[in-house]
Structure 1
Amino acid sequence: MTFARTALSLVLALQLAACGGGDSSAPPVAVGGGGTPAPTPPPSGCSLRAQQDFADGVLNEWYLFPDLLANANPASFNNLDDYLDARVAPARAANRDRFFTFATSIAQENALINSGSSAGFGIRLSYDDANRRLFVVEAYEGASGLAAGLDRGAEITAIGTTAANLQTVSSLFASGGSQAVANALGPSDPGVTRVLRFVQPGGAIVERSITKTTFALDPVSDRYGALVLSDGARRIGYINLRTFVVADAANQLRAAFGQFASQGVRELIIDLRYNGGGLVDVADTFGDLMGSGRVGQVWSREVLRPSKASQNTTRLFRTEANAIAPTRVAVITTGSSASASELVTNSLIPYLGNNLALVGANSFGKPVGQFGFDLAACDLRVRAVAFQTVNANNQGDYFTGLASVVPNTCRAGDDLARPLGDPREASIAAALDFLAGRACTPITGGAAGDVAGGIDQGQNARQGIDLPDRLPLQPRRPEPAQHELPGLF
């Protein structure tokens, strides 16, 4: 058995999702502690029972909430995922492990981390359950979806394998809810083709056959990922990080902050609205790039179960050539913002205080991370919740979302009528208001996972509709990339 300290903070909330945080630093030492038994030795085969025994060894030694593990009869389950769900059910009921512990493929997850490799249309989808509508919230450059005309604000209205068997999205929702829609879009395999009918933001109705391809997930978009916005005479750095899961995200962040440093930027908008998390290493680099003058001070801490307290770590700010010292920061989140996204925001609180705001909607609420435990012969990685992250003030209890701990909040919609990076987009406009000291409406009454929805009120009025909150479309058993990027297809 091998295991890596890659706390890929992945979240799957029932059939919805938000996710993320991980760390590819040195693995913890494989020792038992505090009377906790060591993990079961690797089995000689890959039978379901052998995989269940392996998972039991992992949970019994490393699970962060040992008192919230249930007994389960392995013979009662026909797959490992359901067995893991049963074992951590008490932690889930206590809102401590909302599908954060799961099994995945070593090969697929490593490909995602190392190169951003994924397969699909390269679009992220959210849905309005009440009105049975499906929207594109983001499209990746270099993928087949964007090339076919699917971009932010497009509404998919029908799905089929051919033009002759198109089913309306409304009828799919009516027959089987969001899972029926996810099923209709097909598996995330290269070569899978679907015919989609969609309405582009300008009103054009398009019907097109689109084939899923392998593409690279670019963490910082070349279109809108790093911009310098003007608000009067002030220059605001805007950074939209799509995911922490791709290792190259750290270098892309360095390039973005080089741009900010060269232009004297001291105020930031950090847009993490769909970011489910990923590698803690990347989150740490993000912190370093905002840590000019703070090298050697505490950025964050990882706290394991008492029997593993010797494995607790403290991460200090490190030197980064392009680092700045931001004076005010607005972080845009939705219910899809989780784990590493929340780690970055929470770690800024001790240093920015009232000069920090959460903008948009409440985040998911995942102050815990996973280690990956590998059974290499079976291409099996068990992701088990193994630590909690806290900031320099030892604050880290935001299981109900960051709105409960960030000093300022400003509620705003996720405005699909505007491209990301546009200062007129609702959440970006609210962030600019906070940075300028202008008034905003606090985030109130939103439970963890609340997602600010709608297009913009003007468009809603023109269309005669009232769009409620939207949720990321997610299959019940997502692929590795879908764990980290809620709504990816």
Structure 2
Amino acid sequence: MLKTPNLPLAGRTALSAMLAIALAACGGGGSSTPPTGGGGGTPTPTGTCSIANQIAFADDVLNEWYLFPSLLDNNVNQASFNSVQAYLDARVAPARAQSRDKGFTFATSIAEENALINSGSSAGFGIRLSFDTVNNRLFLFEAFENAPGFQAGMDRGTEITAIGTSSANLQNVSAILASGGPQAVIDALGPSNAGVSRVMRFTQVDGTVVEATVTKADFALDPLSDRYGALIINDGGKNVGYLNLRTFIVADAVPQLRDAFQLFNTNGVDELIIDFRYNGGGLVSVAETMGDLLGEGRVGQLWSQTVLRESKSSENSSEFFENEVQALQPSKIAFITTGNSASASELVINSMIPYLAADSIAIVGSNTSGKPVGQFGFDFDACDLRIRAVTFQTLNANDNGDYFTGLAGTVPNSCQANDDITMALGDANEASVATALDFLSGGSCTAISKSGSDGLAQREAVRETLQPEEPNVAQREIPGLY
């Protein structure tokens, strides 16, 4: 979860003369100002943009604000590092070993993150990829409609079988994966810059084989697809609302969410399927708006709590349901989740637990990521450097928020289900949607294992999200994006 500098969406942030502290709870980023209450001063960047000065700034941030000060390695030598990220990784290694900070503290670009939040700006093919770890195959699990990949004929379920810079040097994906693993495929796809072209051979879901030159371009990430972002599913004469939110990181998600709930109201929806299966999180402010839309009749009641380290406890805060014209009070909600569901997605689910009957809320699919913490953003403006450091944890109205191993076992009900990429998202016959509909109708299901050792989890492990070791700004929030 992110809280952003000076952007109305993200979360609680505060700004000093040279530093923007963005509060992000659950994934995304943004720009905003540091809290202005007690707890000490704000780290101020000094000197030139040397790596030494950037590392020193990162060190000040961690020492003052890091949520788990006892889980910082204080024996790390700044002089031993030539990159800010490597230094951050070393300092937070003890927290990472306890699954308290699974890559959530990182260095990023102020300009790129702000562009993503403001307009969803990204460059690439606009496709999201997973790979079959056993059979060395590469599949799309989603495509953005306004991006080059979709326009070339790629969509959910498409298999990419060969990649090259020209037709003459196409390489089979199976061979690329076999020889160099997922990183070799990432390298073959080229850098995330507009104008980069690749020739790709791919097979569509109906078996049609296409060979096309696809050129990366700048495009806007649409939080709700125009095809399946908000749908009405007629389930035996009962209208069920289906909402697929791709990300919380883009500001435009707020008006799109309001439009979706207007559709649900118009159609008398009382039960919801909320599909977070690929949602890596984003702005706390967007999550709060979504909570308000789920909170008809609850205005003024507690939605979530933000808790900082003890030395910053004066900055702790509570968020309450606010009035939204299109708000619903659903009687049942089934949340579709996978290991890609993180941060703000988990915040929404956890915050709804106190407000639904135990038999009326479930996660469907597989266990979530396990990120009940969020980041503030600390800016070294002269260097276009933003340090996203874990600085707060979120709790629900029952004071619960310790789901570092995922929400299975925390949500009262869970139902195993496959992610069937051969079926369109929102299709009532797609495996996860069908299981969600069955839960809403009172059906029983097999619980998701928190440990991930059950048979379904093992089968799903065959297909993994294609994610670089050092993701760009968009890939941190939109897992598998290229």
TM-score by length of 2: 0.93
- Structure 1 position 4 matched with structure 2 position 21: yes
The whole-number CA distance in structure 2 between the counterparts of 1:339 and 1:469 is: 24
For the 8 Å contact 1:22–1:281, the answer to whether it is kept is no
- One of 458, 468, 471 as aligned partner of 1:478: 471
Alignment correspondent of 1:224? 228
Using the TM superposition, give the Cα deviation of residue 39 of structure 1 relative to its aligned residue in structure 2, in angstroms: 5.0
Shift of 1:451: 8.9
Please report how far the alpha carbon of residue 140 of structure 1 lies from its aligned counterpart in structure 2 after TM superposition. Answer: 0.3
For the pair 1:28 / 2:21, whether they are aligned, the reply is: no
| Structure 2 residue corresponding to 1:369, chosen from 336, 357, 374 | 374
- Indicate the SS of the match to 1:346: helix
Q: Deviations over 1:9-64 (max 9, x none)?
A: 3xxxxxxxxxx25576763127644xxxx454312210000000000010000000
1:157 Cα deviation (Å)?
1.3
For 1:404, which of 403, 409, 424 is the aligned residue? Answer: 409
Which residue number corresponds to residue 462 of structure 1?
none
User: RMSD between aligned alpha carbons?
Assistant: 1.8
Deviation at 1:473, TM superposition (A): 0.7
1:208 counterpart residue number: 212
Distance in 2 (CA, whole Å) between partners of 1:410 and 1:214 is: 38
| Aligned partner of 2:56 among 29, 39, 53 | 53
Query: What's the counterpart of residue 391 of structure 1?
Result: 396
> Which of 176, 190, 199 is the matching residue for 1:195?
199
Match of 1:138 in 2: 142
Mapping 1:435-454, distance limit 5 Å: 435-444=440-449, 446-447=451-452
Provide the C-alpha distance between the structure 1 equivalents of 2:160 and 2:170, rounded to a whole number of angstroms. Answer: 12
CA contact (8 A) 2:19 2:44 kept: no
The answer to whether the Cα contact below 8 Å between 1:412 and 1:452 also exists between their aligned partners in 2 is: no
- Give a deviation string over 1:274-311, Cα, whole Å, max 9, x none: 00000000000000001000000000011000000011
Q: State the AA in 2 paired with 1:391.
A: N
TM-superposed deviation, 1:427: 0.2
Residues 318-376 of structure 1 show CA distances to partners (whole Å, capped at 9, x for unaligned) of 00000010000000000000000000000010011321000000000000000000111
Q: Distance in 2 between matches of 1:451 and 1:314?
A: 38
CA offsets, 1:400-446, max 9 Å, x none?
10112000001100001110010000000000000000122211254
Q: What are the within-5 Å matches in structure 2 for residues 343-354 of structure 1? A: 343-352=347-356, 353-354=358-359
**Corresponding residue number in structure 2 for 1:173:** 177
In terms of mean alpha carbon deviation, does 124-133 or 315-324 score higher?
A: 124-133
Partner SS for 1:157: strand
2:447 maps to a residue whose letter is P
Q: Give distance in 1, aligned partners of 2:314 and 2:400.
A: 20
Instruction: Determine the structure 1 residue equivalent to 2:82.
Output: 78
Contact 1:39 1:60 survives alignment (8 Å): no
Q: Which amino acid aligns with 2:466?
A: L
CA contact (8 A) 1:368 1:386 kept: yes
Q: Distance in 1 between matches of 2:321 and 2:30?
A: 16
Answer yes or no: is the 8 Å Cα contact 2:19–2:45 preserved in 1: no
**What TM-score, normalized by structure 1, do the two folds share?**
0.91
1:478 maps to a residue whose letter is P
Distance (Å, rounded) in 2 between the aligned partners of 1:230 and 1:53: 58
Distance in 1 between residues matched to 2:292 and 2:302, nearest whole Å: 11
* 3-state DSSP of counterpart to 2:324: coil
Matched, 1:115 2:119: yes
Task: Kindly state the Cα deviation for residue 183 of structure 1 after the two structures are TM-superposed.
Answer: 1.4
Q: Where does 1:91-170 land on structure 2 (aligned, <5 Å)?
A: 91-170=95-174
Residue 280 of structure 1 corresponds to 284
Partner Cα separation in structure 2 for residue 22 and residue 80 of structure 1: 18
Distance 2:367 2:451 in 1: 6
Q: Structure 2 unaligned runs (5+)? A: 1-17
- Out of 66, 69, 73, the residue aligned to residue 69 of structure 2 is 66
Local SS of the residue matching 1:332: strand
Contact 2:29 2:113 in 1 (8 A): no
Equivalent residue of 2:85, what SS?
A: helix
From the superposition, tell whether residues 280 and 112 of structure 1 become closer, same or farther in structure 2 (CA, over 3 Å). same
The equivalent of 1:14 in structure 2 is none
* Counterpart AA for 1:475: P
- Alignment check: 8 A CA contact 1:156 1:198 kept: yes
Q: How does 1:457-476 map to 2 (within 5 A)?
A: 468-476=461-469
Aligned to 1:460: none
Does 2:303 correspond to 1:299?
yes
Work out the number of aligned pairs and report it. 462
Contact persistence 2:20–2:32 (CA under 8 A): no
Instruction: Please tell me the residue identity of whatever aligns with 1:46.
Output: C
Give SS of 1:246's match: coil
Q: 1:198 to 1:409 in 2, by over 3 A?
A: same
C-alpha distance in 2, partners of 1:239/1:191? 33
CA contact (8 A) 1:415 1:453 kept: no
Q: Distance in 1 between matches of 2:265 and 2:144?
A: 27
Q: After alignment, is 225-234 or 316-325 more displaced? A: 225-234
Select between 347-356 and 72-81 the one with higher mean Cα deviation: 72-81
Alpha-carbon spacing, 1:445–1:391, altered in 2? closer, same or farther (3 Å): closer
1:382 to 387, 397, 411: 387
Gap change, CA 1:453 and 1:202, over 3 Å in 2: farther
Are 2:110 and 2:379, in contact at CA under 8 Å, matched by a contact in 1?
yes
Change (3 A) 1:177 1:410: same
* Aligned counterpart, 1:16: none
Distance in 1, Cα, partners of 2:145 & 2:456: 25
AA partner of residue 419 (structure 2): D
Structure 1 stretches of 5 or more lacking a match?
A: 10-19, 455-466
Q: 2:456, 2:34 → 1: CA distance? A: 35
Secondary structure of the 2:408 match is helix
In the TM superposition, what whole-angstrom CA distance separates every residue of 1:73-93 from its partner, at most 9, and x where no partner exists?
A: 122222111111011111000
Aligned pair 1:320/2:327, yes or no?
no
| Cα separation, 1, equivalents of 2:414 and 2:186 | 33
Aligned residues of 2:367 and 2:450 also touching (Cα < 8 A)? no
